[in-house]
Amino acid sequence: MDQMNQACSSGTVLLRSVSIFLSNRRQSKQLKEKAEKNDKKRKGKKLSRMDEQLGKLQPKVIEALKRKTHFNKSELETLSKIYKKLVTNCPISSRQLAMNPGMAITKNATIEGIDRSVFRELLHSTFDIVTEDALMERIFSTWEKGYEGLPIRLEGWICGLSVFLKGTLTEKLQFCFRVYDLNGDNFITRDEMFALLRNSLLKYPGDDDETREESVKDLVEIALRKFDIDKDGKISFTDYTTAVKTDKLLLEAFGQILPSDCATNSFLSTLQ
């Protein structure tokens, strides 16, 4: 528990440093350029190592990410710098090793990435996502990571944010559907809807568990009437897409998992 608290508080500190970093970015960019000019004359080699640590992307990586995402060069560079601020060395458990046998890492190793406590804090404070833990966990595990159960690496961070902040409706539909399809069998079933909606239903004083369970069951049936276009008792991706295209508000019907427009715009404006 202590470890968890520690991880959470280090996450908060990191995020604070990110927001300071964002607000001072222009100023620090000027200072950095000045410093770079001076440094270049004296220690060229040391500087290139420093750039790496600051999250400067190689031109090849920038080109590849420009093709894969909706971000331009300067946005990619800033996102890379934010990544460097958020990154920690996360210990790799033997369970994670077993799940990813192809990985070239040794036992008791650590891997650089954004771990779940930092990620959750970011979703909450920067992207205005106020949702319960179970859904937060789903967002983390659905985020493009390359390897199951591991922290988010640079490319996954940027590709995930591209959908999150600038995604097309189709990209957002795919992301949300993957989050809501809890067991990954390509259908959102009654049980899954029940689990998702139970958590998001407010507890009213005087409501007992039985009444609440009944209300959730009613909600599930209402959701099925909206979404289950082919009437087979579960929601396929085609059902979901068809329903959302007729009513955009249905995109996050099973819990908020995307940033608000306001949070999106304010984050994107800091990247300019």
Which residues in this chain contact Ca ion in the complex, by CB under 5 A?
Answer: 181, 183, 185, 187, 228, 230, 232, 236, 239
Number of neighbours of residue 34 by Cβ within 10 angstroms: 10
DSSP 203: P
Angle (deg, nearest 10), helices 237-246 and 209-227: 80
Give 180 or 267: the residue with its C-beta nearer to Ca ion.
180
Nearest-approach distance from CB 176 to Ca ion, in angstroms: 13
Alpha carbons 186 and 235: distance in angstroms, whole number: 9
Q: Which helix (H) or strand (E) holds 236?
A: strand 235-236
- Tokens found for residue 141: 């595990």
Dist. CA 207–CA 198, nearest whole Å:
13
Q: Residue 113: enclosing H or E segment and its boundaries?
A: strand 110-113
Of 100 and 189, nearer to Ca ion (C-beta) is 189
Give dist(CA 198, CA 178) in Å, integer: 19
CB of 139 to Ca ion, least distance (A): 16
Closest approach, Cβ 195 to Ca ion, in A, equals 10
Identity of the residue, 107 or 225, whose beta carbon is nearer to Ca ion in the bound complex: 225
Please state the closest distance from residue 234 (CB atom) to Ca ion, in A: 5
Neighbours of 268 (CB within 10 A): 14
How far, in Å, CA of 218 to CA of 226, rounded?
13
CB nearer to Ca ion: pick between 186 and 265: 186
- The distance of closest approach from Cβ of residue 180 to Ca ion in the complex, given in angstroms and rounded to an integer, is 8
- Report in angstroms how near the CB of residue 196 gets to Ca ion at its nearest: 11
Which is closer to Ca ion, CB of 137 or CB of 230? 230
Cα separation, 215 vs 144, in Å, equals: 34
Closer Cβ to Ca ion, 114 or 197, answer by number: 197
Give the CB-side neighbour count of residue 223, counting CA atoms within 13 A: 27
Residue among 157 and 254 whose Cβ is closer to Ca ion = 254
Closest distance of CB 241 from Ca ion, Å: 12
What is the rounded CA–CA span in Å between residue 87 and residue 14?
9
